[in-house]
């Protein structure tokens, strides 16, 4: 039986724990997204979310990945609130018997998270906060997983 | 002939749209034609106050969720729905 865990965190993430060490998973893929400084232009980041829906949307994309790839465990943790440069924003862990399912499910989860999960980034740059605009290539990255 | 009973929907705004609207949620009772679609509700909302009109006009790319599930601008609305409007998401 494969498991799904999702969490929204307001504090810096603890170091990754060993997941999927139950003997069934030969592969563990972890994606960790971190705050870039953009050559010193970014001083801080703020993440807004939609409490309730954000968690539900993270569970939905994890269920979609579970139906598509033979995975044993999916964990998605996303930070909200104010983040410093270098802080981990998101951590997606996928455990599976074999590496291909783990790699693909992890890539799918990140691409779909960026286009479907209600989270919005604001950047502090030059002492001024501004909202980050959605990127067309993020939309294209999510679209590549849709059935042809 | 009696009028259709009034339907009440809660509208929530997030991120840049929330800041531009100056409000994070509104409870509204729009006329029936504004409930045929999210797009129709947005048009009606834009006419309610100048600030809402500007906020929606300045946020032409919008996503919508109805009762915490992603929906489309064509989705119809019913009494009691919670309609969340927001700019395209930028998490991850």
Burial of A65 (0-12, 13-18, 19+ CB in 10 A): buried
pLDDT band at A95 (very low <50, low <70, confident <90, very high): very high
Q: Is the pLDDT of residue A103 over 90?
A: yes
- Does B91 touch chain A if contact means CB atoms closer than 8 Å? yes
Q: Is the pLDDT of residue A128 over 70?
A: yes
pLDDT band at B4 (very low <50, low <70, confident <90, very high): low
> How many C-beta atoms surround the C-beta of residue B13 within 10 A?
26
The answer to whether A116 contacts B70, with C-beta atoms less than 8 Å apart, is yes
Q: Is the pLDDT of residue B92 over 70?
A: yes
From A33, A53, A113, residue closest to B65, measured CB to CB: A53
CA of B29 vs chain A CAs: smallest distance (Å): 23
Check if the interface score ipTM surpasses 0.90: yes
Structure tokens at A74: 């999916």
> What 8-state DSSP symbol labels residue A54?
H
Say if CB A77 and CB A90 are below 8 A apart: yes
B31-86 pLDDT per residue, tens: 999 999 999 999 999 999 999 999 999 999 999 999 999 999 999 999 999 999 99
Q: Which residues of B touch A120 (CB under 8 A)?
A: 14-16, 86-87, 89-91
Q: What pLDDT score was predicted for residue B3? A: 58
**% of chain A exceeding 90 in pLDDT:** 89
- Does B89 touch chain A if contact means CB atoms closer than 8 Å? yes
> How many C-beta atoms surround the C-beta of residue A140 within 10 A?
11
> What phi and psi values does residue A3 have, to the nearest 5 degrees?
-115, 150
pTM of the model: 0.94
A31-68 pLDDT per residue, tens: 999 999 999 999 999 999 999 999 999 999 999 999 99
Q: Which residues fall within 8 angstroms of residue B15, CB to CB, at 6 or more apart?
A: A48, A120, A122, A131, B86, B87
Q: What pLDDT score was predicted for residue A2? A: 84
pLDDT band at A17 (very low <50, low <70, confident <90, very high): confident
């Amino acid at each position: 039986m494969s498991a799904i865990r999702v969490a929204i965190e307001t504090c810096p993430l603890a170091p990754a724990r060993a997941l999927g060490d139950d003997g069934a998973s030969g592969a563990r893929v972890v994606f960790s997204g971190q705050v870039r400084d953009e050559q010193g232009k970014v001083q801080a980041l703020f993440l807004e979310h939609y409490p309730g829906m954000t968690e539900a949307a993270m569970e939905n994309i994890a269920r979609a990945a579970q139906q598509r790839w033979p995975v044993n465990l999916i964990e998605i943790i996303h930070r909200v609130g104010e983040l410093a440069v270098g802080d981990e924003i998101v951590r997606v862990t996928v455990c599976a018997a074999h590496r291909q399912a783990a790699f693909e499910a992890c890539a799918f989860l990140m691409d779909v998270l960026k286009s479907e999960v209600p989270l919005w980034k604001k950047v502090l740059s030059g002492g001024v906060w501004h909202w980050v605009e959605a990127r067309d290539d993020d939309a294209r990255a999510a679209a590549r997983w849709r059935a042809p | 002939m009696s009028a259709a009973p009034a339907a009440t929907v809660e509208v929530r705004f997030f991120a840049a749209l929330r800041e531009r609207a100056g409000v994070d949620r509104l409870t509204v009772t729009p006329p029936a034609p504004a409930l045929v679609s999210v797009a129709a509700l947005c048009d009606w909302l834009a006419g309610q106050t100048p600030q809402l009109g500007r906020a929606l006009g300045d946020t032409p790319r919008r996503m919508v969720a109805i009762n915490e599930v992603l929906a489309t601008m064509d989705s119809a609305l019913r009494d009691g729905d919670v309609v969340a409007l927001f700019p395209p998401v930028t998490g991850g």
